[in-house]
Amino acid sequence: MSMMMNQFKNKSGFFIDLGFVILSAVLFAASFPNILIKNGLPFLAWFAYIPILAVIRKYNPLICVFWGIIYGLAAYSLFNYWLGSFHPAAGIIVYSIYAVYLAVVFLLLKLAEIFFYKNAAGGEVSRAYLIQWIIWLAYEYLSTKGFLGYPYGITGYTQWQFLPLIQIAGITGIWGVSALVTFPSFWLAGILPQTMRTSANKKNLIKDYCRILLKDKMPAIIWLAALTASLIYGFININGYSSKIASGDFKTARIALVQHNTDPWEASKAPSHWQRIEAYRKDLSILKQLSDEALASSPRPQMVVWPETAFIPRIYWHATYRSDQESWTVVRELLEYLSNQDVPFLIGNDDARMDSEGNRIDYNAAMLFENGIHTATYRKLHLVPFTEHFPYKKQFPEFYKWLEKADTHFWEKGNEETIFSGHGFKFSTPICFEDTFGYLSRNFTRKGADVFINLTNDAWSKSLSAQKQHLSMAVFRSAENYRPTVRATISGQTCVIDPTGKVTAEAAPFSKNYLNAEIILLNQKKSTIYTKYGDYLGVFFTCAAVIILIFGAAWYTIRKQKIIK
């Protein structure tokens, strides 16, 4: 702290810069759906990083690490405040992870400035901000990878309702949108310190700032051209879809999406086994009632979908082993109900199986029933870290035990990207968190899925913000692969998303409800560049950032040695 204070002419400087860091965190969080504005203020994302970049310019690398920690904690505490509704530890873990991530990122941003600094007073404009921009995009991509992969907070997702812009996701994935949205922050902030160094008179500061911006106009011209081309492409893509609809060159499928607005895990917390059974039976009664109402409506649905883990008793396990007679009676009631239905039911459930050693293995699954017969299953492939999956039990046994006691629901990973068959179409069933990852929906599309049917439980968050943030990512899976999505959720957002990423129908959140979704299936299926090549742009940014930083470090070392000599 004393080292930090030495960099200030007075202590007020510290609090001014702290205010800038907090301001940037507020702009970041406010650009996404939030507690005050349900759909967020997406225009803020185009300038959200200017304050933190201005602060980074003032300090040495070590102090920038400190500011990265502060920004990471502040940004994700404001953005993902609802994590505490699941368990206090969930928020602490995520906020701490991003404090570490942003500490490293801020360090790299500062190093990029040091490595590629040019003396603006000598007539050259430093473009270190371009390197910083690439580093930031690489960070966004890498933050979604591996065990800790967490797609919440990717800048491009703020634009989920800006349909003309998000069409480029079909070419670049979310990374192209993020690149366009983040560039203004880095360009505008990158010129500011050069203006401060060269401006002899503070009264001419704005004039000098504009002069240097114009001098460095080429990157902005390229960005503006890319943005214009993206919007033109977006309008063409949207109009093309509308033309196909107008021509009648499509077929439809009708799916009832049930939203019973009862968090199933609350039922599992009942103090006694008898009370839990009664809670399960009550939930089943609501699910049946809503399904019957949907099936009685016109036009009649061709399939009914229940959300993630909507039915808690393990269907296969209790029907096979019947060691718990009370749970078996609830499962039997469900199976009898399903046997009387003439349309398929897709149900979220714990698909428990026995391994070779006689132990029960649980999978978070989507199970398809036809005439009461279980015909196909998808088991969740990408599990939520810490709360659904922790692969380091042997390395951290005490931490694993603590997680088990902290109301977590550990599952095993599935091993197959199941493609189901419906009435004239094929579909995949990404479960909850899975529709926030582009690679999964891409793989489903490549295997033949015509529709994504997402089963979600966000009820535990007790937050419209959480549900809207989840929806904001789901729309990109449609835009990336040009496939419609329907979402059956426990408390919201149950909806229909067309292939352009537009939400065309939505059930009221936090209500016992159902949505009879009519899905338009184009006769000619479009294969997008993203579907073919995946996250190539994210990989490019990552490789570019690594190579440039290595080159910059070597170049900086050589320059320093020449100066010493």
Q: Is 64 a catalytic residue?
A: no
- Amino acid in the structure at residue 61: P
Helix, strand, or coil (residue 270): coil
Counting Cα atoms < 13 Å in the Cβ hemisphere of 95 gives 20
Q: Which of 64, 113, 140, 380 is catalytic?
A: 380
Number of alpha helices (DSSP H) and beta strands (DSSP E) in the chain: 20, 14
- Is 208 in contact with 199 (CB distance < 8 Å)? yes
Q: What is the CA radius of gyration of the chain?
A: 26
DSSP 84: G
3-class DSSP string for 119-143: CHHHCCCCCHHHHHHHHHHHHHHHC
Q: Provide CB contacts within 8 A for 502, sequence distance 6+.
A: 163, 475
CA 100 to CA 112: how far, in whole Å?
A: 19
For residue 554, with 0-12 CB atoms within 10 Å meaning exposed, 13-18 middle and 19 or more buried, which class applies? exposed
Which helix (H) or strand (E) element contains residue 455?
strand 451-456
Q: Provide CB contacts within 8 A for 495, sequence distance 6+.
A: 471, 486, 487, 503, 504, 505, 506, 507, 515
Q: Is 210 a catalytic residue?
A: no
Torsion, CA 506, CA 509, CA 512, CA 517, rounded to 10: 10
Q: Which of 113, 140, 308, 434 is catalytic?
A: 308
DSSP 269: T
CA 445 to CA 452: how far, in whole Å?
A: 9
CA 464 to CA 449: how far, in whole Å?
A: 29
Helix, strand, or coil (residue 238): helix
For residue 472 the two structure tokens come to 């904001």
CA 362 to CA 385: how far, in whole Å?
A: 16
* Alpha helices (H) along 41-173: 50-56, 61-79, 88-115, 128-142, 163-166, 169-172
Helix axes 174-198, 128-142, angle to 10 degrees: 150
3-class DSSP string for 464-514: HHHHHHHHHHHHHHHHHHCCCEEEEECCCCCEEECCCCCEEEECCCCCCEE
Q: Is 215 a catalytic residue?
A: no
- Is 365 in contact with 377 (CB distance < 8 Å)? yes
CA 36 to CA 76: how far, in whole Å?
A: 16
CA 102 to CA 315: how far, in whole Å?
A: 44
Q: Which of 388, 432, 480, 495 is catalytic?
A: 432
- Residues that are catalytic: 308, 380, 432
